[in-house]
Amino acid sequence: MSSILAYDLGASSGRALLGRLIDGKIVVEELHRFPNDPVQVGDRLQWDILRLFHEIKQGLLKAKHQGITVQSLGIDSWAVDYGFIGKNGELLGNPYHYRDRHTDGVMQRVVESITESEIFGRTGIQFLPFNTIYQLAALKEADSPLLREAHRFLMIPDLLRYFLTGEMHNEFSNATSTQLYNPVDNRWDPELIRKLGLSSSWFGDVVRPGTKVGQLRESVTEELGIPSIPVYAVAEHDTGSAVVAVPALERSFAYLSCGTWSLMGTEVEQPVINELAQQLNFTNEGGAYGTFRLLKNIMGLWILQESRREWEKAGMTYSFPELVGLADQAPAFSAFIDPDDPLFLHPGDMPAKVKQYCRNTGQQVPDSPGTIVRCILESLALKYRYVLELTEQLSGKRFSGLHMVGGGIHNTLLCQWSSNAIGKPVWAGPAEGSAIGNLVVQWIAQGELSDIWEARRVIADSFPVTAYEPEQSDAWDAAYREFLKVTGLA
């Protein structure tokens, strides 16, 4: 029986899932899970990339110790971040975290010299201050020595794949997230690269999800005492893999990939690059098999994660289920935030920021973990309604419900409230969407599954999906009107 490995690195944790196809069903086993804590050094927030590589090797070792023969592997991770490789083939510096402040104010300066319509017209990508394009512009502004030494640009999974195989390739889904890739011309955009003063030689050939991109190199197989196996490029942007795994049986569906971020939208065959998409700040991220993700980023459970971290620092340790329980006990609809207010983007005392937002908007100020978590979760659910309505407006589609995937579906209160807020059913599952999407792309490449639609049917047959029906519609409609008013989204 053949087993394959999917590494899925989220902004909060990473995991190695072992997948097997047994009698037409997918069976997964979590071999390894590890935290992905960024590291603050002075003013800089960085990823611990070498530790992540170490954890990837630990996953392979665990497979070996269990006597499992792994057939192939793929890696997906959060988008936009990257490392540079120097002329000697070594990583230059440590990749910055997209929440690092080196990009503060850079996007505004870039769009003063290259207009928003030009950037959006060339890339179809939403304006987020941490997009790779602004990270690189920030290095340029700071005259970073990295740019003088840079030889090749690799995004996080490209980089880890390079460490494993010794081969350098840029994968398509992640390449689009940089806001430097032109999805119509199907290449890195030479004009944007030129206008920013970057070097086109950094950006290599772009491989599609499902391409075999090397074998484990000798240094890895010798160190671990394992045979060399093929490494595949999957939809290496985790959201791309998550959308592959949405168990939708209908062609037109809405999804919410719910983890550190909440990514909501629909799948399209062609990027939607028009004035409305730009004005609504939707994105067209490249996916597997010629699909695009027409979606919007919503700040997501990051606000809750950071609140939990803050309470922990103060000696109050809560698990996520405990926090959800406290929210359930707290009074309903007493205050709302716009989760996408820039206030919440950077790390820092999140409970204080939630309070500050409520105070500034003249609302009752939540003052306990329960009331703060309730405010965060209700506001997220209401923001989902807002973005779902925009997705319908932009795509011209009407959705009968919402598919939710990702770790956030363990939060059953959020799933129920999301259904209440949108007034439609929510179908929640699978939780490990990104890792499962990663697995099926490898199986399609190996001829074990025929295409993405067969894969989605098999996923639907293999993993439980919990259906939530909308409740308390009048109360949620009233809350939505209040939410739009206090957040200024009306």
- The contact mask relative to ligand LRH for 374-393 (x = CB under 6 A, - = no) is --------------------
Percent composition of the chain: helix, strand, coil (DSSP 3-state, to 5): 45, 20, 35
Residue 13 touches which of ligand ADP, ligand LRH, none (Cβ within 5-8 Å per kind): ligand ADP
Cα–Cα distances (Å) from 436 to 105, 261, 291, 311, in that order, read: 37, 18, 17, 33
305 sits near ligand ADP (criterion: CB under 6 A)? yes
Phi, psi of 372 (to 5 degrees): -70, -45
Which stretch, 4-12, 61-69, 168-176, 372-380, contacts ligand ADP (CB under 6 A)?
4-12
CB of 406 to ligand LRH, least distance (A): 9
Q: Which is nearer to ligand LRH, 80 or 323 (CB)?
A: 80
Contacts with 162 (C-beta within 8 Å, 6 or more apart), sequence order? 85, 154, 168
- Is residue 84 within 8 Å of 152, Cβ to Cβ? yes
Q: 31 burial class (0-12, 13-18, 19+ CB within 10 angstroms)?
A: buried
59 in contact with ligand ADP (CB under 6 A): no
**Positions in 357-416 near ligand ADP (CB under 6 A):** 406-408, 410-411
Site for ligand LRH in 225-244 (CB under 6 A): 237-239
Asked if residue 321 binds ligand ADP (CB under 6 A), the reply is yes
Task: Give the one residue of 120, 127, 255, 261 binding ligand LRH; rule: CB under 6 A.
Answer: 261
**Count of residues in contact with ligand ADP, rule CB under 6 A:** 17
Closest to 406 (Cα-Cα) out of 428, 386, 377: 428
Answer whether 241's CB lies under 8 Å from 265's CB. Answer: no
Q: What does 305 interact with, of ligand LRH, ligand ADP, none (CB < 5 to 8 A by kind)?
A: ligand ADP
238 is catalytic: yes
Question: With binding defined as CB under 6 A, does residue 11 bind ligand LRH?
Answer: yes
Binders of ligand ADP in range 239-298 (CB under 6 A): 259-260
Q: Which of 8, 100, 189, 238 is catalytic?
A: 238
- CB neighbour list of residue 416: distance below 8 Å, 6 or more residues apart: 426, 468, 471
Is residue 303 within 8 A of residue 354, CB to CB? The reply is yes
Non-local (6+) Cβ contacts of 302 within 8 A are 11, 260, 261, 344
> With binding defined as CB under 6 A, does residue 80 bind ligand LRH?
yes
CB of 239 to ligand LRH, least distance (A): 4
Structure tokens at 457: 């049917």
Query: Cα angle at 34 between 32 and 38, to 5 degrees?
Result: 155
Query: Which residue's C-beta sits nearest to ligand ADP?
Result: 10
Contact between 395 and ligand LRH per CB under 6 A: no
**Residue 477 corresponds to which tokens in the numbers above?**
């409609």
> Per rule CB under 6 A, is residue 311 in the interface with ligand ADP?
no
- Residue ranges binding ligand ADP (CB under 6 A): 10-13, 259-260, 301, 304-305, 320-321, 324, 406-408, 410-411
Q: Which residues are catalytically annotated?
A: 238
